[in-house]
């Protein structure tokens, strides 16, 4: 198993009601994170149309789409890039992506939600639930050559 070469942490989302775009450059990797609200409307023929809009007017029940663009702006290849995002308060992640890892303790431990446990006030433990998720992470295992770019996206619903 290869070790993680770079850890890029983004705490880019402060409030889910605000549209966000943040750029972060570390170790030659540039990250740009954007947040949108997915709106569904009906066209003149009665078909559902999905459009992405600015997230500045997101409310309870809205679907958020997060898009993280990455680019190697350094002069050397990067291996095992780990992209980490904080989860906004009040957002519940869509956990359908098997490549996504989550943390319920601020990034200290990672895994699938079904494998994570939290301490209880009386000294026991309980299985973590979606509302406990604090961070989400993906690892890009392929080598990222200088100039190469890509993106990943994930969904969440505002509770």
pLDDT digits (tens, 9 = 90+) for 111-132: 999 999 999 999 999 999 999 9
Evaluate whether residue 109 is within a structural domain.
yes
Evaluate whether residue 32 is within a structural domain.
yes
Evaluate whether residue 59 is within a structural domain.
yes
Distance in angstroms (rounded) separating the CA atoms of residues 21 and 68 = 9
| Residue 7 pLDDT | 29
pTM over 0.75: no
Instruction: Return all residues near 81 (Cβ < 8 A) that are at least 6 apart.
Output: 5, 6, 8, 29, 70, 139, 140, 144
Evaluate whether residue 131 is within a structural domain.
yes
Evaluate whether residue 30 is within a structural domain.
yes
Which tokens sit at 7?
A: 């850890």
pLDDT digits (tens, 9 = 90+) for 12-31: 333 333 334 444 555 789 98
Evaluate whether residue 1 is within a structural domain.
no
pLDDT digits (tens, 9 = 90+) for 51-99: 888 777 777 888 999 999 999 999 999 988 889 989 988 899 999 888 8
Model confidence at 3: pLDDT above 90: no
Q: How many structural domains does the chain have?
A: 1
Model confidence at 110: pLDDT above 90: yes
Domain span at residue 128 reads 6-158
| Residue 26 pLDDT | 56
């Amino acid at each position: 198993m290869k070790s993680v070469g770079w850890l890029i942490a983004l705490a880019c989302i402060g409030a889910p009601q605000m549209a966000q775009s943040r750029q972060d450059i570390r170790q030659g990797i540039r990250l740009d994170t954007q947040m949108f609200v997915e709106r569904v409307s009906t066209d003149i023929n009665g078909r559902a149309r999905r459009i992405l809009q600015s997230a500045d007017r997101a409310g309870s029940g809205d679907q958020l789409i997060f898009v993280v663009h990455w680019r190697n702006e350094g002069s050397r290849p990067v291996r095992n890039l780990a992209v980490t995002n904080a989860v906004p308060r009040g957002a519940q992640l869509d956990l359908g992506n098997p490549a996504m890892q989550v943390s319920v303790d601020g990034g200290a431990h990672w895994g699938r939600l079904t494998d994570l446990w939290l301490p209880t006030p009386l000294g026991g433990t309980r299985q973590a639930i979606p509302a406990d998720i604090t961070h989400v992470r993906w690892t890009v295992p392929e080598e990222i050559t200088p100039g190469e770019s890509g993106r990943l996206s994930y969904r969440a619903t505002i509770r």
